[in-house]
Amino acid sequence: MNVSGEEIPSLKLVSKRWMNLIRHIVRLLRTISKNRSIEAVSSKNFRAVIVVDHCAAWDEDKWDDLKIGETRLQCFRPCTRCVLTTVDPTTGIKDIDMQPLKELRQFRLAPDGPMREQLKDSPIFGVNVGVNKPGYIHVGQTVYARYKKSAF
Answer whether residue 50 is part of any domain: yes
The pLDDT > 70 percentage for the chain reads 78
- CB neighbour list of residue 149: distance below 8 Å, 6 or more residues apart: none
pLDDT of residue 34: 66
What is the DSSP code (8-state) at residue 133? E
Please report which confidence band the pLDDT of residue 83 belongs to, taking 50, 70 and 90 as the band edges: very high
In-domain check, residue 142: yes
In a domain, residue 115? The reply is yes
- Number of CB atoms found within 10 A of residue 75's CB: 22
Q: Is 59 helix (H, G, I), strand (E, B) or coil?
A: helix
Please list, in sequence order, all residues whose beta carbon lies within 8 angstroms of the beta carbon of residue 83, skipping any fewer than 6 positions away: 94, 98, 101
pTM recorded for the entire structure: 0.77
Q: How confident is the model at residue 98 (pLDDT cuts 50, 70, 90)?
A: very high
The mean-pLDDT minimum among 9-13, 84-88, 121-125 falls in 9-13
Domain of 17, CATH number, reads 2.40.33.20
Examine residue 151 and state whether it is found in any structural domain, yes or no.
no
Specify the pLDDT at position 67. 95
Domain span holding position 141: 2-146
Domain count, the chain: 1
> pLDDT at position 109, please?
95
Q: Residue 152 domain-assigned?
A: no
Determine, yes or no, domain membership for 123.
yes
